[in-house]
């Protein structure tokens, strides 16, 4: 079966989000308030831990995206759950902790593409692409 244009478009949009997440993970601010009493080791550990966790999440997103591209039903479901979780990010704008302008852009982008992806995944074309196929 030929890959639908909607799969190509949504995969490209999600790939951009994965690269934005990678950039955000590698440029994350230090997650704790460090003072001189914490020392250099605590600073290095905090920066390394934040980067490692971010990169692990990005690798998982890439893994799901790869199987989404290849039409796996579990990846389809994972993308739907991920799209729904994107809307949880709205809490940052209604009383949540302040985020940087870069993270705001990523949050808005993710919500926009989540809306597009959810609209596409409800189409007959998408459901056919993710339907089980005989090997």
**6 pLDDT above the threshold of 80:** yes
- pTM, entire model: 0.78
Instruction: Give domain limits for the chain.
Output: 5-129
CA distances from 123 to 20, 42, 72, 126, 128 (A): 27, 50, 16, 5, 9
Q: What is the mean pLDDT of the chain?
A: 82
pLDDT, tens digit (0-9, with 9 covering 90-100), for 15-74: 999 998 888 777 766 555 555 556 667 777 777 777 788 889 889 999 999 999 999 999
């Amino acid at each position: 079966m030929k890959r639908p244009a909607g799969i190509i478009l949504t995969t490209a949009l999600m790939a951009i989000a994965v690269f934005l997440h990678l950039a955000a993970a590698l440029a994350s601010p230090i997650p704790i308030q460090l003072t001189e009493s914490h020392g250099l080791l605590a600073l290095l550990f905090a920066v390394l831990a934040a980067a490692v966790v971010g990169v692990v999440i990005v690798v998982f997103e890439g893994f799901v995206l790869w199987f989404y591209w290849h039409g796996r039903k579990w990846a389809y479901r994972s993308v739907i759950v991920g799209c729904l979780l994107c809307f949880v990010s709205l809490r940052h704008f209604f009383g949540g902790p302040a985020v940087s302008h870069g993270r705001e852009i990523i949050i808005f982008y993710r919500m926009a593409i989540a809306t597009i992806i959810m609209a596409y995944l409800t189409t007959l074309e998408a459901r056919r692409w993710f339907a089980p196929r005989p090997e």
